[in-house]
Each structure stands twice: as C-alpha cells, then as structure tokens.
Amino acid sequence: MKEVDLEYLRPDSKLVLNSVASVGEPLKASLSRTWFYTEDYPNVTIGDAKVELYVNDRLLGEMSWNVEEIDYYAVGNYVSSYIPVPGDKVRIEAKREGFKQVMGEDIVPDKPALLNLYAESHEENSYGYSYTKRRFKVTFRDKPSEQNCYLISFAYGSPHYEYDYDDWEKPPVFSGIYSWRPEPIDYTSDPVFSNKVSALDKVLGNDWLSGYNGRPFSDELFDGKEYTMTLDGNSSYGYNPGFTQPENRLPDSARVYLYAISEPYYKYLLALANLSDDSFNNNLADIGLAEPVRVFNNIEGGLGILGTACVDSLTVAIQELN
C-alpha cells in the first residue's frame, strides 16, 4: 500500500480562453480556468476578468460579461458588438489577478467557393415501413497555392403537415415550414476521409468515420482544383403508415454547410474528431498502451482555442430515384 500526495502534483491553474470568430455573427468568448482532479468538478467560469479585443492590431475595446448568473458551463460569456469579416486579424487578450495573461490570435478566412449540391434518395420497405437512404454530392473549388481547411456538415429537411385528428380521411395540409435535423454521414464514402482509416482498423471492423455535427478536412488531395465530394447518409427515416400521406407530397430537402476554417481551428477540430473515433489507437490509448490524441491549443500563456470560420450553404430538393 502506497500513499500518493496528489497535492504535491498540483500544477498552477491557468486561464482557458475559447472563441470562434465566425463571419456575420457577433464575437463571443468563454473564459474559465483549469482545475485539478481533487477539486471534483468545480465551477471554473471567470466573470471578473479584463478581456480586450483587437482587430487588425487595433484595440476595439473590452468585451463585456454577459451572464446574469455564473453558469456551471457558461458558453460565450464575454460578448462584443464586433462582427468578423474575411481578412480580419482577430486577437483576444485576457487578464485576471492570480493568473498569467493569455492571448489568442487568428485570421478570418474568405468564404468558401461552394458550387453545387446534388442529393438523391431511394426507398426500402421493411415490416410495413418505408425507409429512405440518401446520397449527397457536393462540388466546390479550392484556392491554389495555399493550404485551405474546411468543415462540412449536412441537414435533412422534411415538409411539416398538419392533420385533423378527428377526421383521418381529411387530407393533411402543408404548414408552410420544413422540419430540419442534422444528417449523420458515413464519411468513409469519400476518399478525402477514407484514407484516414488505417489498414488495421479496417481489418478489425472500424471502417467508418462518424461526425454528426460535421467533420473537418484539408485540401491535401485536391489542392487548387474543383472537387466533387460524394457522401452517403448513415441513417434512415420512415413514415408511419398510420398517417395518411398527401397525394402530392412536397419533396424532402437537403442542405450542406461548407465552412472555410483557419488552420489552428482545423487542427483543434481534427483532434476532437479523432478522439471520438472508435479506432484501434484510441482503444490502446484508453489502457495506456498508445500515445493519446493531443488536443491542439493556440492560446499563449494558457489553454484553449481562438479559431475563425466563414460558412456558405446550399439547399436543394432531394431527387427520389424510385
């Protein structure tokens, strides 16, 4: 039996600064601190710091505290009226007594060249239900002579109909709105992602990559070219046969979000994606037999990420193949 003095191992607490400067949205930032294992999940939100915003090396002023109560996991608790635009160099500096000053800086990317979205589906019938399988083809153009980083995600929209529950024979009426939900994707269906799966993972059956809220990628395979990415949906939705379907039902819709993201933000998101993957390396790391994934950090003097992003999107009707 050996007694370990954990307090002897306690490091100095550091400020944690997280922010994403997204084009068209007011800038927000979260500030907290690191905590030690023996603290048992404390509230680490910091609301009395001096958080200064610089744009293109010019001080715009202090970001203001925007939380009425100190939330346990506050997100975006410092705000500014500044709205990022492409090309801006954004810098945030935070000071608080008892901590080392922290600083993060990044440049806002240009809008991605999203050219086209094509979505198709086919139906399968099983046990009285009709299920829909989908495929998406996204075409975009990459800028030459520079490294470009992206994040892609999809949403699926279905027309919302109102029913008369007292008269099932009465045809449903379109409400005028679409119901949208994130679309899970099997990212290994395109070479941009599939080459990230090791041969050993394929042998062990870990031959797919998830990303319910999107997945980051770089232009390594198509630098400076126009590229069409083909991805398969990883889920299916059915219609309850108990509900009468309208004779001329409006088509379902698909929407793609293509984000141009800065290289630091790409490295950060890629690390998070790798952490969530069910890979052989992660399984070994869980038991201490492999090097764990290290989350990227670009905050000087502390921890966290200051990333930048610019998004474009397209929405199309899904073509039914049968």
How much is the pLDDT for 238? Answer: 54
- Of residues 274 and 147, more confidence is placed in 147
- In the structure encoding, which two tokens stand for residue 309, read together? 């992003």
How much is the pLDDT for 290? Answer: 59
Task: Report the range of poorest mean pLDDT among 6-15, 26-35, 187-196.
Answer: 187-196
- In the structure encoding, which two tokens stand for residue 62, read together? 């202090």
Q: Where are the beta strands (DSSP E) in 87-172?
A: 89-95, 102-107, 113-126, 129-141, 149-162
Average of pLDDT values for 221-250?
76
How much is the pLDDT for 278? Answer: 60
Average of pLDDT values for 184-208?
68
Other C-beta atoms closer than 10 Å to the C-beta of 157 total 19
Residues 6+ apart with CB under 8 A from 265: 20, 106, 149, 305, 307, 308, 309
**pLDDT category of residue 230 using cuts at 50, 70 and 90:** very high
Whole-structure pTM value: 0.87
How much is the pLDDT for 321? Answer: 85
**Is the pLDDT reported for residue 276 higher than 80?**
no
Task: Report the range of poorest mean pLDDT among 83-97, 182-196, 257-271, 303-317.
Answer: 182-196
**pLDDT category of residue 3 using cuts at 50, 70 and 90:** confident
- Of residues 309 and 189, more confidence is placed in 309
**Is the pLDDT reported for residue 197 higher than 90?**
no
| % of the chain at pLDDT higher than 70 | 81
Q: What distance in Å separates the CA atoms of residue 99 and residue 101, rounded to the nearest whole number?
A: 6
How much is the pLDDT for 280? Answer: 46
Average of pLDDT values for 290-301?
86
**Is the pLDDT reported for residue 121 higher than 60?**
yes
**Terminal-residue alpha carbon distance, the chain:** 69
Other C-beta atoms closer than 10 Å to the C-beta of 228 total 13
C-alpha distances (whole Å) from 257 to each of 15, 39, 112, 153 are 32, 40, 10, 5
3-class SS of residue 205: coil
**Is the pLDDT reported for residue 291 higher than 60?**
yes
How much is the pLDDT for 215? Answer: 92
**Is the pLDDT reported for residue 285 higher than 90?**
no
Average of pLDDT values for 168-180?
86
**Is the pLDDT reported for residue 287 higher than 60?**
no
How much is the pLDDT for 204? Answer: 46
